[in-house]
């Protein structure tokens, strides 16, 4: 992990994505966008996405970086993510 600094962030984001799927099932669609891909250019500029993970729900920026699970779940529930 030391040779690849973003590896820890990607691993932590992956764990959160698994928890989202376990908690909300198919009621929330998760998309992962690579900022190096020009297809997402306008969304990347709109939300100021750089190298760090950025969490967006229904067109609204929730977090930059890696939030804790409880904090992320609370924001999803506040925005109407709901459970299955």
Give the predicted TM-score (pTM) of the model: 0.75
Q: Per-residue confidence of the chain (84 residues) as pLDDT tens digits?
A: 566 667 888 899 999 999 999 999 999 988 888 778 888 888 888 888 877 888 988 888 888 889 999 999 999 998 876 554
- Report CA-CA distances (Å) from 66 to 38, 42, 56, 73, 84: 24, 23, 12, 13, 24
Q: Specify if 14 maps to a domain.
A: yes
Q: Specify if 72 maps to a domain.
A: yes
Token code pair at residue 27: 């009621």
Which pLDDT value is given to residue 5? 66
| Bridge partners for 57 per DSSP | 60
Q: Specify if 83 maps to a domain.
A: no
Give the number of domains in the chain.
Answer: 1
Q: Are 57 and 79 in contact (CB under 8 A)?
A: yes
Domain range for 44: 7-78
Q: Specify if 56 maps to a domain.
A: yes
């Amino acid at each position: 992990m030391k040779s690849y600094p973003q590896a820890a962030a990607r691993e932590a984001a992956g764990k959160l994505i698994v928890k989202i799927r376990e908690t909300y099932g198919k009621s929330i669609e998760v998309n992962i966008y690579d900022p190096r891909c020009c297809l997402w250019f306008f969304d990347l500029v709109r939300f100021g996405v750089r190298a760090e993970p950025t969490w967006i729900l229904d067109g609204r920026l929730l977090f930059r970086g890696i939030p804790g699970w409880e904090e992320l779940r609370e924001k999803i529930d506040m925005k109407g993510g709901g459970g299955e």
